[in-house]
A and B are shown apart, each in its own frame.
Chain A
Amino acid sequence: DADVTQTPRNRITKTGKRIMLECSQTKGHDRMYWYRQDPGLGLRLIYYSFDVKDINKGEISDGYSVSRQAQAKFSLSLESAIPNQTALYFCATRADRDFAGELFFGEGSRLTVL
């Protein structure tokens, strides 16, 4: 089983719908992240969390919200999806307080908003 699991892997929805992407991890890391990836734009940080009580906005948080339900779970919500939120979304975890620590990514959730 993957250390970082994302559900759903693929989702097609309509404009205005509420969507939740879920992420769970078994690595025991406190730090969790949500990135989106668009062709030509690379990976951009949406939100990140250093523990259950700590949530921080990334560079592109508008239109998104997150919930850290437990150390192992970090979900991303689109309250009212719009077509320009069509992208590949990645959840990632990282070891604590370690600049050398690598990010461990989930397999990605491909979201299409019609």
Chain B
Amino acid sequence: GQNIDQPTEMTATEGAIVQINCTYQTSGFNGLFWYQQHAGEAPTFLSYNVLDGLEEKGRFSSFLSRSKGYSYLLLKELQMKDSASYLCAVNPPGGGNKLTFGTGTQLKVEL
């Protein structure tokens, strides 16, 4: 089965760097997603990792270690608009093509 763990809340300063961690336990693995969700809005896709290593997209990067069941989302040059919930999600083993989500990390960016 799957058990996805993320910190509930984090606070960071505008202009700084923040790392949001996600750990998962799964008997199989078909990739990990990160989504951003502003309050009251729909989640929007940030990144997808299926192989080990770092994927960079502008100010956002995502890292995966399959052997450790671990991923992180790195946000650089934080802006106030980055205040949002960040959701980690995995494809379950055995197909089914449906995502299982963690409970999300609420990031607050302060001046």
Contacts and interface: CB of A to CB of B under 8 A. Distances in A.
Interface of A: 31, 33, 35, 40-45, 48, 50, 56, 58, 88, 90, 94, 97-100, 102-108
Instruction: Describe A's contact surface by its main secondary structure.
Output: strand
Contact of A102 (B30, B45, B97): B45
Nearest to A38: B103
A107 B99 CA distance: 18
27 contacts: A33-B98, A40-B8, A40-B103, A41-B103, A42-B87, A42-B102, A42-B103, A45-B98, A45-B99, A48-B98, A50-B97, A56-B96, A58-B98, A88-B40, A97-B97, A99-B50, A99-B91, A100-B31, A102-B45, A102-B48, A103-B33, A103-B35, A103-B43, A103-B99, A105-B44, A108-B41, A108-B42
Contacts of B48: 100, 102
Contact of A31 (B30, B33, B97, B104): B97
Nearest to B29: A99
Interface in B39-55: 40-45, 48, 50
Interface in B1-52: 8, 30-31, 33, 35, 40-45, 48, 50
Instruction: Describe B's contact surface by its main secondary structure.
Output: loop
A103 B100 CA distance: 11
B70 interface: no
Q: Interface residues of B toward A: which range?
A: 20 to 34
Contacts, number: 55
B101 interface: yes
A106 to B, nearest CB: 6
Nearest to A103: B99
Contact of A42 (B30, B40, B42, B101): B101
Contacts of B41: 107-108
